[in-house]
Amino acid sequence: MNMWVKTLIGILVIVALVGFLWLIMGLPGVLSREPQVIGVLEHVIIDSPAGPVDIIAKVDTGADFSAIDRSLALSLGFKPSDTETKAVMTEIGLQERPTLRFKYKIGTHEINSLATVSDRSSFSTQMLIGREDIKGLIVDPSRDFLTTPESRPPVQFFGFLNTVDSQLSRIIPIIPILGTAVVILRLLAGVRTYGIFAPTIIAVTLLSLGIIPGFPVYVFLIVTGIVVKILVLDRLNLPQVAVLSLIIFLLVLLMVGITSLPAGFTLSFNIIFFPLIISTYIVEQASKSITEHGVVQAMSLLISTLVTALLLTLYASFLIEQSATVLWTFFAVSIAATIAAGQYLGLRLSELIRFKFLRRTHVH
């Protein structure tokens, strides 16, 4: 083996090992840095002399310190300190209150608390959680019990079947259904496109952006890409991989330009990422085809790609409106339809036109 190859493999292995170690050592740290969201009411587990006790506490972001009910503290075996006191502003003015140091947990989050002790018998909760205790946590005031295992929705294997609020979980089953549409268009109608499933990915993007600004903007993107590739990039005499990379630069510049326009949309990462690679491929293939087969053939293929994407977008926007039951019926039917379309051995619709010299009407 070549020494260079060995060196390169060595570097690769070292980088991989570093990555692996970083994952192992750093992952918990990374995860704990993810801020946990808590609701207004939360179960807390107090680490008391009588053992762990589960009570319901209320988050009060208006208070500096937490507060705990005196009789609860005493019953748990705590001894509130009268020497270490805190001044607390109440309705009746500034009050000196005894304090208590103890540990408790919200979910997996452990808190060392310095709480004031008072009579909370007239309140609905025996404990208030103040700002000092929940540094690094996020409070969602519209919800309760976000950290309690029992109150979370049960984890199901087909959990996404019931999920209706997430757009993404609805798009995922739509992608293969659109794929089936491509299969049928290709095998039965003979529709040809740049990249067999490219229109599927474009359709998903258009679904998120909306057809009306999305489609024309996408066409603009592709056409500009092709023009610049032919007029500029092809004259640089670069290898294919460099040209492809420059097309990605070009498309990103165009996308950034579009988003900065007054009427531009905000493109999220998952929206731009997939069409970027697909679009690069389309730009490259179309411009190659122009030089090889002429503008007419190249453009007809490009148009059929874009029109297919448009049809798929309409289909997808119909699907996304459906209930989960209808959507998953389409899903199952599409699997069967794909297999059925693969069995079709007859002529494709386009072949009725293609084999023009075999037609009955052809007279030599």
Residues near another protein (CB under 8 A) are: 187, 190, 237, 239-241, 292-294, 296-297, 344-348, 351-352, 354-360, 362, 364
* Minimum distance of another protein from residue 280's CB (angstroms): 13
Q: Which is nearer to another protein, 237 or 325 (CB)?
A: 237
Nearer to another protein, 19 or 342 (CB): 342
The CB-of-1 to another protein minimum distance in angstroms stands at 16
Q: Which two tokens stand for residue 278?
A: 């697909």
Rounded to 5 degrees, φ, ψ at 51 are 100, 175
Give the Cα separation of 82 and 171 in Å (integer).
Answer: 60
What 3-state class would DSSP assign to 60? coil
| Backbone φ/ψ region at 107: left (φ over 0), alpha (ψ -120 to 50), beta | left
Q: What is the C-alpha separation between 134 and 59, in angstroms, rounded?
A: 9
Q: What is the pairing mode between strands 67-69 and 51-59?
A: unpaired
- Residue 281: what are its φ and ψ, rounded to 5°? -65, -45
Q: Are 205 and 219 in contact (CB under 8 A)?
A: no
| C-beta of 52 vs 342, nearer to another protein | 342
Amino acid at 160: F
Q: How far is the CB of 352 from another protein (least distance, A)?
A: 5
Give whichever of 42 and 284 is closer to another protein, judged by the CB atom: 284
Which residue, 267 or 299, has its beta carbon nearer to another protein? 299
- Residue placing its CB nearer to another protein in the complex, 3 or 241: 241
Nearest residue (CB) to another protein, 243 versus 310: 243
| Closest distance of CB 306 from another protein, Å | 21
Asked if 334 and 176 touch (Cβ cutoff 8 Å), the reply is yes
Distance (Å, whole) CA 28 – CA 12: 25
Least Å distance, CB 9 to another protein, is 18
Residue 358 beta carbon to another protein: minimum distance, rounded to whole angstroms: 5
Q: How far is the CB of 242 from another protein (least distance, A)?
A: 10
Q: Tell which residue, 169, 172, 152, 151, has the closest CA to residue 160.
A: 169
Q: Give 171 or 299: the residue with its C-beta nearer to another protein.
A: 299
Contact 284, 244 (CB under 8 A): yes
CA–CA distance, 178 with 316 (Å, rounded to integer): 7
Question: Closest by alpha carbon to 319, among 177, 180, 186?
Answer: 177
Query: Which residues have a Cβ under 8 Å from the Cβ of 121 and sit 6 or more positions away?
Result: 69, 71
